[in-house]
Structure 1
Amino acid sequence: MKRCFEIKAYISFEKTQFYTIEEVGKGINETDEFFIRFKDNPDYQKDIATIKYWIQKIGKESGALERHFRPEKSAEAIPITISKLRLYCYRLSDKIVILGNGGIKSSQKVQDSPDAFPHFEVMNTLAFAIQMKLESGQIEITSNHISGDLTFFTK
């Protein structure tokens, strides 16, 4: 069964505009779902605080420099530091990041982490779709804004 997602504005800072993705018809974006899922669990409070710190630092101070992200196939993850959690994202430029969902990284390989792997797959599908749409002119980037056909499908 195919799932349809839309890219939507999430939070804007001086240096970086963050977008998120939302499954059509779901009513909550993937990034908020991630934070809600872990916010009351004491085992992950430090990890959530670290992820929020990096989003703020990237947005307000440095911009979305490549060194702030953990490579995850075609996508990326926050934080770059040691953490039990991964928030998957796609860095389009120093001024644009698309945040997704994430999960608990319970093994060395994300493929062996059942909580994190589905979110990893969605963000890598998004990265591929965006590259195809940029090449075909269906998506346009100007400074910290992305426009055009902002939908994509996953399995």
Structure 2
Amino acid sequence: MNNFAHIKPIAQYKKVGYYSVCINDGEHSLFEEFIKEHTKKNEKKLDHILNWLKVIGNEHGAQTYHFRPEGETADTSALPPKGVDRKPQYTEYGKRKANNLRLYCLRANEHVVFLFSGDIKITRKAQHCPNVKSHFKLANQITKEIDNAFIEKDIAWNDDYTQIECNEDFKIYF
């Protein structure tokens, strides 16, 4: 366990609060780095995922069917969800197509989601993809430690389970 992370709030929508983590003493979260990395080189694919975050956050809540089960545990998942006919849709050259940019995340409940990082997935399984393998592995490690922090009550729920609470100096070690 040479690394640690601290939790950083990202955005609050009507139905979902999004969080991420900053590694070691980094100022920017994994999610913010993901956005920075893909803003120019995969802008349309990134916009599709960001639109999903808004739709989930404002309209539906973080229901399990909105997340792609790609993790080693049932808790780690990815966006965008499966299916080319789901709205918001992704199109390339005027045709509906699957978006192969993956954002790995932890859906803690229907109101709280942790956003990590990702990349373009070019193989069927994330653990075999040279692009996403490291993002996938890191997401699984952090997910496991966040789950443990909930069990140990280092991260707690507010009264209606719509937000999380933890000490400002709380760190996740992995």
Does TM, scored on the shorter chain, surpass 0.5? yes
Greater Rg, structure 1 or structure 2?
Answer: 2
**2:169 is aligned with 1:152:** no
Structure 2: runs of 5 or more not aligned: 83-97
* Aligned partner letter, 1:128: K
Measured after TM superposition, the shift of residue 115 of structure 1 is 2.1
Over the aligned positions, Cα root-mean-square deviation in angstroms equals 1.5
Matches within 5 A, 1:133-152: 133-142=149-158, 143-148=161-166, 150-152=170-172
Partner of 2:52, secondary structure, is helix
**2:14 is aligned with 1:14:** yes
Measured after TM superposition, the shift of residue 93 of structure 1 is 0.5
**How many pairs are equivalent?**
152
Q: Between the two proteins, what is the percent identity of the paired residues?
A: 28
List structure 1 runs of 4+ shifted beyond 2 angstroms: 148-151
**2:122 is aligned with 1:106:** yes
* Aligned partner letter, 2:165: S
Q: Which residue of 2 aligns with 1:124?
A: 140
Using the size of structure 2 for normalisation, the TM-score is 0.81
Is the 1:105–1:115 Cα contact (8 Å) retained in structure 2?
A: yes
Which stretch shifts more, 32-41 or 88-97?
Answer: 32-41
Measured after TM superposition, the shift of residue 90 of structure 1 is 0.2
Match of 1:85 among 96, 101, 111: 101
Using the size of structure 1 for normalisation, the TM-score is 0.90
Structure 1: runs of 5 or more not aligned: none
Is the 2:5–2:24 Cα contact (8 Å) retained in structure 1?
A: yes
Higher helix share: 1
Q: Which residue of 2 aligns with 1:66?
A: 64
